[in-house]
Amino acid sequence: MNPRVLYRAASYATDARSAADSVISALTPAAWYRNATGVTESGGFASQWDDYSGNARHLVQGVGTNQPAYSAGVLTFDGVDNWMRVSFALAQPMTIVAVMKQVTWTGGDYIMDGASVNEVAAYQNTITPNFMLSAGAPLGNNGNLAINTYGIVCLVANGASSSSRVNDTAKVSGSTGTNALTGYTIGAAGNSGSASNIATKEIVIFPSALSDANQSAVITALNNALTVF
């Protein structure tokens, strides 16, 4: 390939990543687990994923058998006993954006949660590929994240004005309860049970309910940076 073409491709990737960082930073994240950044790994397994927001809310898993696999910026949770967690307090409203895929699907498996079970949770529900947001009350199923296909999941916990969204598809909206977070768990429920077989490239937690326009801006920026859909 022409070296100039390679240079332009590399330059675009760098610019797209910088643009995504600018969009996310401007919205002041409470925690940010940036793709291929700040991951402590040994033998292909991750023990820590640093918080890029500067708030030092690092995701940690100190037990080797519970650590997700790590390769080329992707953390893969095995659906048996893999999870990572961090403790911090965050009340609603909040928005969680995750670049992720459901590798496999088992009803009742938790994609994410707080530091205790059923704080602000997303779990696989009813029939494949549905997942549901719950923060004390179930929001309703979202079936727009196909199995083994990456998407950008946007979850807004804001009492009666909550929603879940995948990529640029229509939102599932309604009430999902008013629970706060005492931390964040990825790959399992807050009690470390009901682990899910998922993979994730980036996660951002915002201490606000992002507007539709800001959700779209974050989704577009991450898609440009990571070529998700």
Residue 156 Cα distances to 141, 161, 208, 219, angstroms: 14, 8, 8, 14
pLDDT above 90 (res 3): no
**pLDDT for position 21:** 98
**pLDDT for position 6:** 34
**pLDDT for position 12:** 55
Q: Report the distance separating Cα 165 and Cα 131, nearest Å.
A: 11
Q: Report the distance separating Cα 118 and Cα 115, nearest Å.
A: 9
Region for residue 147 given its phi and psi (left: phi exceeds 0; alpha: psi -120 to 50; beta: otherwise): beta
**pLDDT for position 4:** 42
Q: Report the distance separating Cα 177 and Cα 15, nearest Å.
A: 39
Round the average pLDDT of the chain to a whole number and report it: 95
Q: What is the pLDDT of residues 16-57, one digit of tens each?
A: 999 999 999 999 999 999 999 999 999 999 999 999 999 999
**pLDDT for position 10:** 46
pLDDT above 80 (res 5): no
Mean predicted confidence (pLDDT) in 9-14: 58
Mean predicted confidence (pLDDT) in 169-194: 98
**pLDDT for position 14:** 81
Q: What is the pLDDT of residues 65-117, one digit of tens each?
A: 999 999 999 999 999 999 999 999 999 999 999 999 999 999 999 999 999 99
How confident is residue 216, by pLDDT bands cut at 50, 70 and 90?
very high
pLDDT above 50 (res 198): yes
**pLDDT for position 78:** 98
Q: What is the pLDDT of residues 109-155, one digit of tens each?
A: 999 999 999 999 999 999 999 999 999 999 999 999 999 999 999 99
- Within 10 angstroms of residue 91's Cβ, the number of other Cβ atoms is 11
